[in-house]
Structure 1
Amino acid sequence: MKLIVDMNLTPRWVGLLIDAGIEASHWSMLGANNALDSEIMSYASANDYVVLTHDLDFSAILAATHGKKPSVVQIRADDVSPDVIGPQIISALKQMTLELEGGALLTIEPNRTRMRLLPLQFKTMSET
């Protein structure tokens, strides 16, 4: 599994992930600092990356496009420092590797982790 660390997260994430045996690159090393989220998603999909972000726009893109790739890992916490939530992120990445390689949205909060397989499916009112 390879990760792209989004611009809204510190490049320090890359070192932490690599130290844990996870291949990672910060977007600033791969593309334009002002790239649109859709550009990052396209790059990740074409190059078999998983996106690590603190931005909710990536899950919205997956929902709108019914995309099967790339997988997205969202950090939903006030403090997204690798020193604070890093161990929880690494643990979740290692536990969910197969799902992320197949296409998933992984949401990690300080007190819980949720995973949804891609493409995202939403129930209509008649299905509830």
Structure 2
Amino acid sequence: MNILVDMNLSPRWVDLLTNAGMKAAHWSTLGPANAPDAVIMAFARANDYIVLTHDLDFSAILAATHGDKPSVVQIRADDISPGAIGKPVIDALSQMAGELYRGALLTVDPRRTRLRVLPLRNPDRFPP
């Protein structure tokens, strides 16, 4: 599993993910710090990365474009440090690996984990 850690998360996430057996890179080592989210998404898609972020803009991009890749993992917590929420994130990544490989939006917060398969569709506007 290849994880691209967004700029809004500490580079310490790379060590945590690597120690859990995943390949991880912080965006600061791959591209410009001020790159728009769309550029990061395009890079992740082209290079088979899953984006790990604290930013809701990535899910908005998926919803607006009905994109099926890259998968996005959103951390929704007050304390987004690896020491505070790292274990639930690692557990969720491991448990949902199949869905993430196929394309999903995974939201992890201290109380629960939610998964939506991509592409995101509004059930009222886009019935199955």
Separation of aligned partners in 1, 2:101 and 2:38: 20
The match for 2:17 is 17
**Residue 90 (structure 1) aligned with residue 90 (structure 2):** yes
Unaligned runs of at least 5 residues, structure 2: none
TM-score of the two chains, using structure 1 as the length reference = 0.97
**Segments of 4+ moved more than 3 angstroms:** none
- For 2:35, give the aligned amino acid: A
What is the root-mean-square deviation in Å for CA atoms of aligned residues? Answer: 1.2
- For 1:89, give the aligned amino acid: V
TM-score of the two chains, using structure 2 as the length reference = 0.97
Count of residues in Structure 1 that have an aligned counterpart in Structure 2: 127
- What SS is found at the alignment partner of 1:79? coil
The match for 2:5 is 5
Paired-residue identity, %: 65
Separation of aligned partners in 2, 1:97 and 1:123: 25
Separation of aligned partners in 2, 1:125 and 1:24: 36
Q: 1:24 to 1:126 in 2, by over 3 A?
A: closer
Q: 1:74 to 1:123 in 2, by over 3 A?
A: same
Separation of aligned partners in 2, 1:20 and 1:46: 24
Unaligned runs of at least 5 residues, structure 1: none
- State the Cα deviation string for residues 28-64 of structure 1 (Å, max 9, x = none): 0010000000000000000100000000000000000
